[in-house]
Structure 1
Amino acid sequence: MVILLLLLVLPFALAGPPWQVCSNGSKYAPNSAYLENLTLLSSTLPKKAASNATLFATDAVGVAPDTVFAVTLCRGDINASACEGCLSSAFQEGQQLCPYSKDATIYYDTCMLTFSNKNFVDTNVGGPNWNIQRSVLKFTASANSTRQMVSTLINSTAQSAANSSRRFWTSRLDDSSFPTMYCLTQCRPNLTAGDCASCFRSASQMMLQDLDRRVGCRVQGTWCSMRYEANKFFQGDPMLLIAASAAPPEVEKNVQQHSM
């Protein structure tokens, strides 16, 4: 039995404008040394990330108390040009969405920027900066069946990503009685495999906490990100093909739309 999906113009209501996390702490003044240092980073760091095979870069500019630390990361399936463009927009949007904030994180669909006046590059600041988005569409399969499928998908993909040199992986899950699902997981490539796996555990817990049979969900953090959908949202072929369990769940034939 094959589930039929309700098709929308948007494959999943997650793409679009950036999402920001702005600090309520200290602010910088207009025409300040901090702004000058942030502007300098915006002119160099996007190119630095785009020229890196992992699409990742960090840097720090200036002297205390006006030092700006920044981390940038693009999604592993996009090209260098798209990466540079995304990060350039993130720097620009960051100053507009978090005006005069010394500490901000900007998430786009394909890149992430975080900057601060504190040296966070080698410390875990992912917790406070999570961004979570959930699909408004739901499977009509049971909650347990959906949870089993999603858990298999995200955990298998996360394990592969944590064990890879780029800390990036994509996958597809196939089952005759459940819609095909796709997943993408990524960590900052400067993390150890253990730290990456730990971050994925936190992300998956948040994703599964309010799963509620949702067709898709995305969790983004400054250490790692995780996303699954019933539509292919990444470029290229899946790096991992996952076969569902031998005992497929019983499901109905439709997907219902619910508002969040």
Structure 2
Amino acid sequence: MSSWASLIFLFLFSFLASFRAYAQDPTYVYHVCPNTTTYTRNSTYSTNLRTLLSSLSSNNASYSTGFQTATSGQGTDSVTGLFLCRLDYSPEVCRRCVAFVVNDTSTRCPNEREVVLYYDECMVRYSNRNILSTLSTNGGVVTWNGQNITSSQKDQFRDLVLSTMNQAASEAADSPRKFDARKANWTASQNLYGLVQCTPDLTRQDCLSCLQQGINQLPTDKIGGRFIVHSCSSRYELYAFYNESAITTPPPAPLPPVSVPPPPPGKGGSSSVLVVAIVVPIIVVALLFIACYCFLAKRAKKTFDTASAFDGKDVN
């Protein structure tokens, strides 16, 4: 196989692999839907819920920010909902995840008034109670990687996980997006990756409190672990499980060109201004001199021609 054919084959393989990854369904993690409150089909609550879910999954939703809330109905039949996407994913991945989860609610939690569905890419939650701007540490779930940290490294690894995750929690709580992801050196050839996120409607203190509770529940004797509750989530791994390029702080935008005003009279100017001030008058004078010379020369030539013709005439 020629080098060009090999390159084309690798390009097609990479394209198909990326397309498959792009088109696959969101990764399910966990769901919570207690049976304590239910609704009947064709009820007012059912109609309000359909309206709410349609709003969350519409094309006008805030997928670029990764977070949106909605309410529908009034009184005991009102429903409040939200979605939260991981901010290292693109708005398109967020949109597809929310649309998928909205459809999945009827399968996993049929006829239930309170529902939370967790996926890697997004979370969707709704309730017959007001859940907005309210800290909730219910519905917690812990997951972990099956591989253990060696006994001799447990304390060192635990300290690294906690310090890294607590730094991330502090940064996330101070951020309007309530999100942070970072990495730290574990060994010469391996990094620790951590990610934390709260729903952006929480206050700084509520977000920090939620994350700290979650971080303290992480199974730090494993090489990876995750803790999720309604209002926040925390996760660490020994591999890059998030998109590093998507969360890297972009370089500052270049400053616009500065318009420098001309110097005030008497203060002098730049060398270019000085050159223009000297050269332009000289050119004008030279052009005037050339114009005058041409005019006088032409007039003199005309006079000379006329005089010569007169001198050569035969006079009787």
TM norm structure 2: 0.65
Matching residue of 1:193 = 204
Whole-Å Cα distance in 2 between the matches of residues 18 and 93 of structure 1? 13
**Could you state the TM-score of these two structures normalised by the residue count of structure 1?**
0.79
- Aligned amino acid, residue 147 of structure 2: L
Moved more, 100-109 or 88-97: 88-97
How far has the Cα of 1:49 moved from its partner? 8.1
State whether structure 2 residue 232 is matched by structure 1 residue 221.
no
| TM-superposed deviation, 1:188 | 1.1
Structure 2 equivalent of residue 128 of structure 1: 138
2:238 to 214, 230, 234: 230
CA deviation vs aligned residue, 1:122-170 (integer Å, no higher than 9, x gap): 322x222222211111222432122111112211111111111211111
When Rg is computed on C-alpha atoms for both structures, the one with the higher figure is 2
Say whether the 8 Å CA contact 1:46–1:84 is kept in structure 2. yes
Per-residue CA deviation, residues 24-71 of structure 1 (Å, 9 max, x unaligned), is: 211111222222221112221134785254311111101222111102
For residue 79 of structure 1, the aligned residue among 79, 87, 90 is 90
Q: Could you tell me how far 1:121 is from its partner in structure 2?
A: 1.3
Q: For 1:34, give the aligned amino acid.
A: Y
Determine whether 1:167 maps to 2:169.
no
Q: Which residue of 2 aligns with 1:8?
A: none
Distance 1:150 1:111, change over 3 A: same
Cα gap change, 1:73/1:48 in structure 2, threshold over 3 Å: closer, same or farther?
farther
Alignment of 1:24-39 (within 5 A): 24-39=35-50
| 1:75-128 deviation per Cα after TM superposition (whole angstroms, max 9, x unaligned) | 01111111111111212212211121100110000111111111121322x222
- The answer on whether the counterparts of 2:133 and 2:203 sit within 8 Å (CA) in structure 1 is no
Structure 2: distance between partners of 1:49 and 1:165? 21
CA deviation string 1:152-201 (max 9, x = no partner): 22111111111112111110111445831111111111222211111111
**What code does the residue aligned with 2:52 have?**
L
- Unaligned runs of 5+ residues in structure 2 are 1-25, 250-316
Q: Secondary structure at the match of 2:57?
A: helix
How far, CA to CA, are the matches of 2:50 and 2:213 in structure 1?
33
Between stretches 72-81 and 231-240, larger displacement belongs to 231-240
2:113 aligns with: 102
Contact 1:170 1:184 in 2 (8 A): yes
- Larger strand proportion of the pair: 1
Q: Where does residue 51 of structure 2 map in the other structure? A: 40
Cα separation, 2, equivalents of 1:50 and 1:63: 22
- Aligned-CA RMSD value: 2.1
Number of residue-to-residue matches in the alignment: 222
1:233–1:49 CA distance, 2 compared to 1 (3 A): farther
Q: Distance in 2 between matches of 1:59 and 1:81?
A: 20
Percent identical? 30
Q: How far apart, CA to CA, are the structure 2 residues paired with 1:18 and 1:61?
A: 27
Structure 1, gaps ≥5 residues long: 1-14, 241-260
Q: Distance in 1 between matches of 2:226 and 2:60?
A: 23
Distance 1:18 1:176 in 2: 29
C-alpha separation in 2, matches of 1:64 and 1:18 = 33
Question: Which of structures 1 and 2 has the larger relative contact order (alpha carbons within 8 angstroms, sep 6+)?
Answer: 1
